[in-house]
Amino acid sequence: METLTLLDGSEPFDVSAHAASAGKPAVLFAVGAGGDPLRYGTLLAALANAGCTVIAPHFQRLAATTPSEGELMRRARRLRLAMNSLTEASATVTAIGHSIGGATLLALAGGQLWLGPGQHIEIPTAPRIRKLALLATPTGFFRAPGALDTVHAPLLAWAGSEDHITPPAQSEWLVQTLQMQALQTARTAQTTKLHITRGAGHFSCMDQPPPHTVEPLQDKHAFLEGLAGTLCRFVVGTD
Protein backbone atom coordinates (compact mmCIF):
# COMPACT_ATOMS: atom_id res chain seq x y z
CA MET A 1 0.00 0.00 0.00
CA GLU A 2 1.18 3.50 -0.79
CA THR A 3 -0.15 6.78 0.55
CA LEU A 4 -1.44 9.27 -2.00
CA THR A 5 -2.78 12.77 -1.48
CA LEU A 6 -5.96 13.89 -3.26
CA LEU A 7 -7.85 17.19 -3.18
CA ASP A 8 -11.37 17.75 -1.95
CA GLY A 9 -11.81 21.22 -3.40
CA SER A 10 -8.79 22.99 -1.91
CA GLU A 11 -8.44 20.58 1.04
CA PRO A 12 -5.94 17.70 0.77
CA PHE A 13 -6.68 14.27 2.19
CA ASP A 14 -4.68 11.05 2.24
CA VAL A 15 -5.62 7.75 0.65
CA SER A 16 -3.87 4.43 1.22
CA ALA A 17 -4.01 2.58 -2.09
CA HIS A 18 -2.81 -0.50 -3.93
CA ALA A 19 -3.09 -0.51 -7.73
CA ALA A 20 -3.75 -3.81 -9.48
CA SER A 21 -3.69 -4.47 -13.19
CA ALA A 22 -6.58 -3.43 -15.41
CA GLY A 23 -9.68 -5.57 -15.17
CA LYS A 24 -9.00 -6.77 -11.62
CA PRO A 25 -11.59 -6.28 -8.84
CA ALA A 26 -11.61 -2.90 -7.12
CA VAL A 27 -12.37 -2.39 -3.42
CA LEU A 28 -13.35 0.86 -1.71
CA PHE A 29 -12.71 0.61 2.05
CA ALA A 30 -14.41 2.89 4.58
CA VAL A 31 -12.99 3.02 8.10
CA GLY A 32 -14.89 3.42 11.32
CA ALA A 33 -14.86 6.43 13.64
CA GLY A 34 -11.09 6.32 14.21
CA GLY A 35 -10.38 7.31 10.63
CA ASP A 36 -7.13 5.39 9.98
CA PRO A 37 -7.50 2.50 7.52
CA LEU A 38 -4.00 1.18 8.25
CA ARG A 39 -5.34 -0.20 11.53
CA TYR A 40 -7.02 -2.90 9.40
CA GLY A 41 -3.73 -4.21 8.02
CA THR A 42 -4.59 -7.91 7.72
CA LEU A 43 -7.70 -7.23 5.62
CA LEU A 44 -6.12 -4.63 3.34
CA ALA A 45 -3.02 -6.78 2.76
CA ALA A 46 -5.17 -9.82 1.94
CA LEU A 47 -7.20 -7.84 -0.61
CA ALA A 48 -4.01 -6.53 -2.25
CA ASN A 49 -2.47 -10.02 -2.29
CA ALA A 50 -5.65 -11.36 -3.91
CA GLY A 51 -5.01 -9.04 -6.85
CA CYS A 52 -7.50 -6.31 -5.98
CA THR A 53 -7.14 -2.59 -6.43
CA VAL A 54 -7.62 -1.23 -2.90
CA ILE A 55 -8.66 2.35 -2.09
CA ALA A 56 -8.84 3.39 1.56
CA PRO A 57 -9.25 7.09 2.37
CA HIS A 58 -8.07 8.49 5.70
CA PHE A 59 -10.35 10.70 7.80
CA GLN A 60 -10.21 12.73 10.97
CA ARG A 61 -11.36 10.85 14.03
CA LEU A 62 -15.03 11.40 14.90
CA ALA A 63 -15.24 13.11 18.28
CA ALA A 64 -18.89 12.30 19.03
CA THR A 65 -20.72 8.98 19.11
CA THR A 66 -23.15 10.23 16.46
CA PRO A 67 -21.48 12.00 13.50
CA SER A 68 -22.70 15.36 12.29
CA GLU A 69 -24.24 15.95 8.88
CA GLY A 70 -21.08 17.73 7.78
CA GLU A 71 -18.84 14.85 8.85
CA LEU A 72 -20.99 12.29 7.04
CA MET A 73 -21.16 14.38 3.88
CA ARG A 74 -17.39 14.93 3.91
CA ARG A 75 -16.68 11.22 4.33
CA ALA A 76 -19.13 10.23 1.59
CA ARG A 77 -17.76 12.86 -0.79
CA ARG A 78 -14.14 11.81 -0.25
CA LEU A 79 -14.94 8.13 -0.64
CA ARG A 80 -16.53 8.92 -4.00
CA LEU A 81 -13.64 11.20 -5.02
CA ALA A 82 -11.06 8.54 -4.16
CA MET A 83 -12.98 5.83 -6.01
CA ASN A 84 -13.38 7.94 -9.14
CA SER A 85 -9.77 9.16 -9.08
CA LEU A 86 -8.07 5.81 -8.55
CA THR A 87 -10.15 3.37 -10.60
CA GLU A 88 -10.96 3.15 -14.27
CA ALA A 89 -14.33 4.66 -15.19
CA SER A 90 -15.56 1.27 -16.39
CA ALA A 91 -14.57 -0.59 -13.21
CA THR A 92 -17.24 -1.82 -10.84
CA VAL A 93 -16.48 -1.64 -7.15
CA THR A 94 -17.03 -3.69 -4.02
CA ALA A 95 -17.39 -1.44 -0.98
CA ILE A 96 -16.28 -2.73 2.44
CA GLY A 97 -16.91 -0.67 5.55
CA HIS A 98 -16.61 -0.97 9.31
CA SER A 99 -19.07 0.64 11.74
CA ILE A 100 -19.93 4.20 10.61
CA GLY A 101 -17.93 3.52 7.46
CA GLY A 102 -20.39 0.78 6.59
CA ALA A 103 -23.34 3.11 7.15
CA THR A 104 -21.75 5.69 4.85
CA LEU A 105 -21.28 3.09 2.13
CA LEU A 106 -24.86 1.89 2.51
CA ALA A 107 -25.97 5.46 1.84
CA LEU A 108 -23.70 5.66 -1.22
CA ALA A 109 -25.29 2.43 -2.45
CA GLY A 110 -28.77 3.96 -2.32
CA GLY A 111 -29.87 3.89 1.31
CA GLN A 112 -31.59 6.96 2.74
CA LEU A 113 -29.66 7.93 5.87
CA TRP A 114 -31.49 9.72 8.69
CA LEU A 115 -29.87 11.25 11.77
CA GLY A 116 -33.30 11.61 13.36
CA PRO A 117 -36.89 12.70 12.60
CA GLY A 118 -36.78 15.29 9.82
CA GLN A 119 -33.00 14.91 9.49
CA HIS A 120 -32.51 13.12 6.19
CA ILE A 121 -28.93 13.44 4.92
CA GLU A 122 -28.88 13.85 1.13
CA ILE A 123 -25.87 11.75 0.16
CA PRO A 124 -25.55 11.34 -3.63
CA THR A 125 -25.34 7.71 -4.66
CA ALA A 126 -22.37 6.00 -6.30
CA PRO A 127 -23.84 3.61 -8.91
CA ARG A 128 -20.47 1.94 -9.51
CA ILE A 129 -20.75 0.24 -6.10
CA ARG A 130 -22.04 -3.21 -7.08
CA LYS A 131 -21.37 -5.20 -3.87
CA LEU A 132 -21.43 -4.31 -0.19
CA ALA A 133 -19.63 -5.91 2.76
CA LEU A 134 -20.66 -4.25 6.02
CA LEU A 135 -18.81 -5.01 9.26
CA ALA A 136 -20.53 -4.23 12.59
CA THR A 137 -22.54 -1.50 10.89
CA PRO A 138 -25.10 0.64 12.74
CA THR A 139 -28.38 0.36 10.83
CA GLY A 140 -30.59 2.60 12.94
CA PHE A 141 -29.90 5.39 10.43
CA PHE A 142 -32.01 3.50 7.86
CA ARG A 143 -35.20 2.66 9.80
CA ALA A 144 -37.42 5.24 8.07
CA PRO A 145 -40.09 3.77 5.75
CA GLY A 146 -38.62 3.07 2.31
CA ALA A 147 -35.06 3.98 3.35
CA LEU A 148 -33.64 0.84 1.74
CA ASP A 149 -35.94 0.59 -1.28
CA THR A 150 -33.19 1.39 -3.79
CA VAL A 151 -30.46 -0.78 -2.28
CA HIS A 152 -30.06 -3.71 -4.67
CA ALA A 153 -26.37 -4.66 -4.34
CA PRO A 154 -25.41 -8.13 -3.13
CA LEU A 155 -24.65 -7.82 0.57
CA LEU A 156 -22.43 -9.61 3.06
CA ALA A 157 -22.94 -8.47 6.66
CA TRP A 158 -20.69 -9.41 9.58
CA ALA A 159 -21.33 -9.00 13.29
CA GLY A 160 -19.80 -10.16 16.55
CA SER A 161 -21.94 -11.79 19.21
CA GLU A 162 -20.25 -9.72 21.95
CA ASP A 163 -20.62 -6.37 20.15
CA HIS A 164 -22.39 -4.01 22.54
CA ILE A 165 -22.00 -0.97 20.26
CA THR A 166 -23.79 -2.36 17.20
CA PRO A 167 -25.30 -5.67 18.38
CA PRO A 168 -25.92 -8.43 15.81
CA ALA A 169 -29.63 -7.61 15.79
CA GLN A 170 -28.82 -4.53 13.70
CA SER A 171 -27.21 -6.59 10.93
CA GLU A 172 -29.98 -9.19 11.20
CA TRP A 173 -32.58 -6.48 10.66
CA LEU A 174 -30.74 -5.19 7.59
CA VAL A 175 -30.51 -8.60 5.92
CA GLN A 176 -34.10 -9.50 6.74
CA THR A 177 -35.41 -6.16 5.48
CA LEU A 178 -33.62 -6.48 2.13
CA GLN A 179 -34.83 -10.05 1.70
CA MET A 180 -38.43 -9.06 2.50
CA GLN A 181 -38.33 -6.14 0.09
CA ALA A 182 -37.20 -8.40 -2.71
CA LEU A 183 -40.10 -10.78 -2.03
CA GLN A 184 -42.69 -8.00 -1.81
CA THR A 185 -41.64 -6.41 -5.08
CA ALA A 186 -41.27 -9.73 -6.92
CA ARG A 187 -37.70 -8.63 -7.67
CA THR A 188 -35.00 -11.23 -8.00
CA ALA A 189 -33.55 -11.29 -4.52
CA GLN A 190 -30.02 -10.02 -4.28
CA THR A 191 -27.64 -12.29 -2.44
CA THR A 192 -27.65 -11.36 1.24
CA LYS A 193 -25.47 -13.21 3.72
CA LEU A 194 -24.98 -12.73 7.44
CA HIS A 195 -21.94 -13.98 9.35
CA ILE A 196 -22.02 -13.78 13.15
CA THR A 197 -18.80 -14.69 14.93
CA ARG A 198 -19.32 -16.14 18.39
CA GLY A 199 -17.25 -14.27 20.95
CA ALA A 200 -16.22 -11.36 18.70
CA GLY A 201 -16.68 -7.71 19.61
CA HIS A 202 -17.15 -4.45 17.75
CA PHE A 203 -13.41 -3.92 17.18
CA SER A 204 -12.39 -7.53 16.56
CA CYS A 205 -12.03 -6.88 12.80
CA MET A 206 -9.24 -4.36 13.50
CA ASP A 207 -5.56 -5.27 13.90
CA GLN A 208 -5.14 -2.18 16.05
CA PRO A 209 -8.33 -1.50 18.04
CA PRO A 210 -8.82 1.70 20.06
CA PRO A 211 -6.72 2.01 23.23
CA HIS A 212 -8.14 0.59 26.44
CA THR A 213 -10.50 -1.80 24.67
CA VAL A 214 -10.52 -5.46 25.70
CA GLU A 215 -10.45 -8.08 22.94
CA PRO A 216 -12.94 -10.88 23.70
CA LEU A 217 -11.54 -13.34 21.15
CA GLN A 218 -8.87 -15.77 22.29
CA ASP A 219 -7.26 -16.25 18.86
CA LYS A 220 -7.49 -12.85 17.24
CA HIS A 221 -4.96 -13.66 14.50
CA ALA A 222 -6.87 -16.70 13.27
CA PHE A 223 -10.10 -14.72 13.23
CA LEU A 224 -8.58 -11.86 11.21
CA GLU A 225 -7.14 -14.27 8.67
CA GLY A 226 -10.48 -16.06 8.35
CA LEU A 227 -12.50 -12.85 7.98
CA ALA A 228 -10.05 -11.52 5.37
CA GLY A 229 -10.38 -14.76 3.41
CA THR A 230 -14.19 -14.59 3.50
CA LEU A 231 -14.17 -11.00 2.26
CA CYS A 232 -11.65 -11.74 -0.49
CA ARG A 233 -13.84 -14.57 -1.77
CA PHE A 234 -16.87 -12.27 -1.70
CA VAL A 235 -15.02 -9.62 -3.70
CA VAL A 236 -13.71 -11.96 -6.40
CA GLY A 237 -16.98 -13.86 -6.65
CA THR A 238 -15.99 -17.29 -5.34
CA ASP A 239 -18.20 -17.17 -2.24
pLDDT at residue 238 above 90?
A: no
Q: How confident is the model at residue 22 (pLDDT cuts 50, 70, 90)?
A: confident
Range in 61-70, 108-117, 182-191 the model is least confident about: 182-191
State the residue range of the domain holding 153. Answer: 2-236
Do 93 and 87 touch, CB atoms closer than 8 A? yes
pLDDT of residue 183: 78
Tens of pLDDT along 26-38?
999 999 999 999 9
What's the pLDDT score for residue 180? 87
For position 90, what pLDDT does the model report? 85
The whole-number pLDDT of residue 65 equals 84
At residue 188, the pLDDT reads 52
Indicate the pTM of the whole model. Answer: 0.96
Residue 23 pLDDT more than 80? yes
Per the structure, the count of domains in the chain is 1
Q: Which CATH number belongs to the domain containing residue 112 in this structure?
A: 3.40.50.1820
Distance (Å, whole) CA 30 – CA 134: 10
pLDDT of residue 169: 97
Model pLDDT for residues 80-135, shown as the tens digit of each residue: 999 999 998 888 899 999 999 999 999 999 999 999 988 999 999 999 999 999 99
pLDDT tens string 190-228: 689 999 999 999 999 999 999 999 999 999 999 999 999
Q: Provide the mean pLDDT of the chain.
A: 94
